[in-house]
Amino acid sequence: MADLDQRPHKKRRFFVDDSPSQDPSLSAEPSLPDEVNDLPKSPSLQRQQTGDAAERDKENVFDGETFKAFTGASPPEDTILSLQQTFGKDLERAINAYFDGSWKNTPAPPSSSRTPSASTYRSSPFGKPSSTIQTTPQANASPRASATPAPPKPAALGSMPTKRYIGALGVAGWTTKSGTGLLKPDDTIKIERQKQAIQQKAGRGGKFKQVVRKTQDMIVRFTNGRGEEVGRLEKEAAMWISTLLDQKLCIFEGHCIFAPERIRTNDTVYLQLKCFLLRSAFEAGNFVKPAENNRETGIFEAKETSDERDLRLRQVALVKLFSEINLQPSKINETTAKHKREGILQAAEVAEQYDQQDTKKSKGNTPENGGSSPPSEENEEGEELEQDQLDSLYRKAQSFDFDTPEAQPADSFTMDLRKYQKQALHWMVAKETSQKQEHKEMSMHPLWEEYPWPIKDADDKDLPAVDGQDCFYVNPYSGELGLDFPVQEQTCLGGILADEMGLGKTIEMLSLVHSHRSPEQEATMSGAKADAIASLPRLGRNSSGVEYAPATTLVVAPMSLLAQWASEAEKASKDGTLRVLIYYGSDKNINLPTLCSAANAASAPNVIITSYGTVLSEFNAVASMDGNRGSHGGLFSLDYWRIILDEAHMIKNRQSKTAKACYELAAKHRWVLTGTPIVNRLEDLFSLIRFLRVEPWSNFSFWKTFITVPFEKGDFVRALDVVQTVLEPIVLRRTKDMKTPDGEALVPLPPKTVEIEHVKLSDPEREVYELIFARAKKAFSANMEAGTLMKSYTTIFAQILRLRQSCCHPMLTRNKQIVAEEEDAAAAADVANGLADDMDLTALLERFQADEGEQDASRFGSHVLKQIQDESDMECPICSEEPMEEQAVTGCWHSACKKCLLDYIEHQSSKGELPRCFNCREPINARDVFEVVRHEDEDFGDEDTKALVSAFGAGDEEDEDLYNSTQSAKKKDAAKRITLRRVNALSSAKINTLLTQLKRLRKSDQVLKTVVFSQFTSFLDLLGPALTSAGITWLRFDGSMSQKERARVLSDFANRPKFTVLFLSLRAGGVGLNLTCAKRVFMMDPWWSFAVEAQAIDRVHRMGQTDEVKVTRFVVEGSIEEKMLKVQDRKKFLASSLGMMSEDEKKTQRIEDIRELLS
């Protein structure tokens, strides 16, 4: 079936006679029955301002003159009469009815008095209409014969008429009919938009079939003076004209410029259209602003809502229109000037592409997205930034002037601020109070453009002016039109504090909390009793249902940092000057609006600390209550004095629910804290800007136009330039390596040394390693030869992951939960787990099988214990050490140093002999060797000094009889209890090295705190028991722990008066934490980029650290880890010169890396 949207092919001309019947669909579509064809043709080309006195007399009806002026048309008197009869006084309705044709049911004779307008067509009709006929009002001023005498200059109107002329343009159309006399030059035509309902077509057997239109309906028809449809506009023009008509922005009046004498179907005709903007287009509420209705559409929104789509069409249509009629803005904002319309069109184009891709993609996953999916699962858009691009972005923001003024914090703030922190305070206070300082002349909102109303029409006739309306305003980014001067809205009263980690963002923020209070809070602080009425607690709420909380600052932080915020807030404040509330989990059974209202300002919490998760869940709750914030009584029911988002890159994805939730929080001042405002995409920054409500950039369409689109098109310089101008006024960023003008560091930190400990794998470990290595290499070369490297990237990556794990402990390669610790590993893990272990590997790994855990020695009977105890102080029968080092026993209960025993077993095995006991020659094996673990210091950690003594003086008191210890003497107990732990004879080299080092450290400093990082939590699972067996106390902090547990672990670690090790997963420990109580750091495994490791190290080596920090990085000799270090180095080196690499180049680069790793 022919698609009627498309103009038929030209070749039809050769079958002229057949054409009507040849295309059944053409004939099958007559003018629709409900179309009224006898509509009087708008005689708009004339400007007859002659008043008719007779009409004026009628007091009770509207004024015909005004009607004409408003409509800019001069319909026949009888038409006006009929309108008057129908609508009486209601001029507006009459005008509307006039334009939409609905008045026509009152009979009205066709216009006969229409005077043909002077021919305005001056150019060759055969040229391209857009370039030759398109005229500006000015250009039309060329002298020509006018059929009607120029009317006197029209009187100015008091207000905007229903429609107002803005320009004329030429378009081409094609005819859908044939015949003579259908249309001739100068004929007035009417431009119509007939939205096609879903057509019903007669199917076979007389049934009606619904035909679903696949393409967007944008047919624009034109009819001749008799109301017959003559043809349609060419598609190109119809596209945007249809939008303007549909969205009731414009109407068009036209006349024919050229048409062949005898018209045949599919002939080209040329038309001139005059365009009028409708008054309704300027009226608010004409459409929904997409930016403001996040809540309503946000919950189940597809990528582009239909509103957004309408907006896009509208943007494009307006831009096209202005360009066609050559209307230039008389005034636009500087920033926008550079890029302009082209940008909008580009952006729309890109959006369309997204649109198409998304409809394909979204089918599967849209429904699930309705839930509370974590941000990480939601897809992000935008390209990643290269490091050097980031660097140059930051450079501008970082050009920190060391001479900026400082501010002194309020008295209630107890901490000493460094100079740069006082400067930050000054800057922040200035930002929060900036509206008072701004007395600049009213400047135009940067998104809007000003256009002059034309004063002459296409025929060079004067147009009526409107008092005080010489211009109109257009916001091409939102598609809004306006008659009033759009004032630049207040800039955001907050900003981005992006000081590098460790410079004390929290402290700076707290100093602001203390130093800039709302007037309401000041009033209560000053002790002056506020007037009696105000001090009465009340529940009054304003209309939006949101209670103003003038004394409250809301802090939103990752869960792991809640406790830290609370304790820092308390530390930084004089007693009683700051009320802190942690609003989290079960602790939130309070009605916040009551608690924090202005009336209760004297007792309201000054700082409420909550987590992103809480914000999200309350957001969902409020949304499910239809957005009724007030009645929820939670975080969203308040309008805070200030909001602070800590680690604000949590909301970097603007599509994530968390981000959307945060946008909705209301506050007078908005701040975000982050060390990395841009993590890897420019869109990351947008989300912050959106939260801060920085105009105009918080409009995504605007952002997309000036930043995303140029960036994706490769116009990096331009995009980054714009970003810099956005950032400059709202970002304060200092880095740790900044130097004051005197060359001093901003924050003097004690030195830090990083050394690499080369670990040698044991032979069995080596075997496992080599096997996996050989396999990975084989896979790599095979894929290399087959040219399938890119495809099998994940498989190879998985192999490399296994290799790295086998460097830590061979058993890790068997662990099913290896993942979730590495970005790319998610996919890789499946592949890795799917790699069947062949027999070789299984056999090798069996030797590393985890042990069955501890066994209480009492199980074996008292004589065994006696024997073990007796032997413990004797010299080792093998090395003669006395007492034995790490006593171990065989299955036949003979003791020796663990090492001697294992060495001997190893020695025998290597000679191919069956290992036997050194003492009784019973056959033994390495797995049946038990380490004797004494629990001297088990429940220690409180202030129990006795336990302390026994822990360090353990050796002397052990003579007590073990019989007692296991059977009766529970009191003396712990000090004497022993358990046997199967020695994982084939433990890993890294574990052993770590233990050796820790033991050495413990000897030298008995209260030292050490942090051990690994990226594999499964490795931490193995390290824990190993430390326990060595009698070293340890704690663990990882992503799976609850907030309470985390807080407890951190405070435990800081407060224990003894040697303690804290295990951290590289991931969980990467952000925010303050571990300055530790002095030593062990990095168990290298990460791809040292930056990540450095960030972890900086948990310890950060402000507040008073001692030198020693870092030891474990690297297995002659392994992939050593090569990773090389890759790390090279990356550091290349970072600045890499420049803009494409996605493919990056992949190639990674494959280069892998090649190097496997070399």
Footprint on this chain of another protein (rule: CB under 8 A): 875, 877-881, 900, 903-904, 907, 913, 916-919, 921
Distance CA 61, CA 57 (A): 9
185: number of CA atoms within 13 Å, CB side? 11
Measured CA angle at 199 (ends 196, 202), to 5 deg:
155
Q: How many H helices and E strands in the chain?
A: 41, 32
Q: C-alpha dihedral over 333, 334, 340, 346, to 10 degrees?
A: -110
**Rounded least distance, CB 400 to another protein, Å:** 60
**Rounded least distance, CB 904 to another protein, Å:** 6
Measured CA angle at 1052 (ends 1042, 1059), to 5 deg:
135
Distance CA 777, CA 1155 (A): 9
**Rounded least distance, CB 956 to another protein, Å:** 23
Helix (H) or strand (E) holding 68: helix 64-71
Helix (H) or strand (E) holding 798: helix 793-808
Task: Identify which of residues 929 and 1120 has a Cβ nearer to another protein in the complex.
Answer: 929
Residues 6+ away with beta carbon under 8 Å from 393: 385, 678, 720, 723, 724, 727
Residue keyed to tokens 């680690």: 647
Distance CA 760, CA 917 (A): 28
Identify which of 779, 846, 831 has the alpha carbon closest to the alpha carbon of residue 801. Answer: 831
Residues 6+ away with beta carbon under 8 Å from 89: 60, 61, 62
| Strands, sheet with 580-583, edge to edge from the N-terminal-most edge strand | 580-583, 607-611, 547-557, 638-645, 666-673, 494-497, 731-732
Task: Identify which of residues 894 and 1110 has a Cβ nearer to another protein in the complex.
Answer: 894
* The amino acid at 914: L
Task: Identify which of residues 242 and 890 has a Cβ nearer to another protein in the complex.
Answer: 890
Bridge-based pairing of strands 220-223 and 163-175 is unpaired
Task: Identify which of residues 149 and 912 has a Cβ nearer to another protein in the complex.
Answer: 912
Task: Identify which of residues 402 and 904 has a Cβ nearer to another protein in the complex.
Answer: 904
**Rounded least distance, CB 819 to another protein, Å:** 43
- For residue 523 the two structure tokens come to 């009033």
Distance CA 745, CA 335 (A): 37
**Rounded least distance, CB 885 to another protein, Å:** 11
Identify which of 1106, 413, 497, 421 has the alpha carbon closest to the alpha carbon of residue 746. Answer: 421
Task: Identify which of residues 575 and 913 has a Cβ nearer to another protein in the complex.
Answer: 913
**Rounded least distance, CB 419 to another protein, Å:** 58
Task: Identify which of residues 570 and 885 has a Cβ nearer to another protein in the complex.
Answer: 885
Backbone CA torsion sign across 643, 646, 648, 651: negative
Task: Identify which of residues 436 and 911 has a Cβ nearer to another protein in the complex.
Answer: 911
**Rounded least distance, CB 874 to another protein, Å:** 12
**Rounded least distance, CB 894 to another protein, Å:** 8
- For residue 44 the two structure tokens come to 């708009």
**Rounded least distance, CB 903 to another protein, Å:** 7
**Rounded least distance, CB 872 to another protein, Å:** 16
**Rounded least distance, CB 877 to another protein, Å:** 4
- For residue 542 the two structure tokens come to 């304003």
**Rounded least distance, CB 891 to another protein, Å:** 16
Distance CA 172, CA 270 (A): 5
Distance CA 658, CA 256 (A): 57
Task: Identify which of residues 891 and 941 has a Cβ nearer to another protein in the complex.
Answer: 891
**Rounded least distance, CB 900 to another protein, Å:** 7
**Rounded least distance, CB 908 to another protein, Å:** 8
**Rounded least distance, CB 876 to another protein, Å:** 8
| Strands, sheet with 978-982, edge to edge from the N-terminal-most edge strand | 854-856, 978-982, 930-934, 887-889, 895-897
DSSP 705: I
Task: Identify which of residues 880 and 968 has a Cβ nearer to another protein in the complex.
Answer: 880
**Rounded least distance, CB 919 to another protein, Å:** 5
DSSP 923: B
Distance CA 360, CA 338 (A): 35
Residue keyed to tokens 């699962």: 377
Task: Identify which of residues 643 and 900 has a Cβ nearer to another protein in the complex.
Answer: 900
Task: Identify which of residues 113 and 909 has a Cβ nearer to another protein in the complex.
Answer: 909
Task: Identify which of residues 5 and 875 has a Cβ nearer to another protein in the complex.
Answer: 875
Task: Identify which of residues 918 and 963 has a Cβ nearer to another protein in the complex.
Answer: 918
Identify which of 139, 559, 591 has the alpha carbon closest to the alpha carbon of residue 328. Answer: 139
Q: CA 1033: distance to chain centroid?
A: 41
**Rounded least distance, CB 921 to another protein, Å:** 7
DSSP 938: T
Task: Identify which of residues 456 and 916 has a Cβ nearer to another protein in the complex.
Answer: 916
Task: Identify which of residues 877 and 1031 has a Cβ nearer to another protein in the complex.
Answer: 877
1093 with 1066: CB under 8 angstroms?
A: yes
Residue keyed to tokens 């972005």: 393
Task: Identify which of residues 895 and 979 has a Cβ nearer to another protein in the complex.
Answer: 895
Distance CA 444, CA 331 (A): 9
Strand partners, 672: 496, 645
408 with 422: CB under 8 angstroms?
A: yes
Backbone CA torsion sign across 348, 354, 355, 356: positive
Task: Identify which of residues 196 and 919 has a Cβ nearer to another protein in the complex.
Answer: 919
Bridge-based pairing of strands 854-856 and 978-982 is antiparallel
Question: Residue 353, exposed/middle/buried by CB under 10 A (0-12, 13-18, 19+)?
Answer: exposed
**Rounded least distance, CB 869 to another protein, Å:** 19
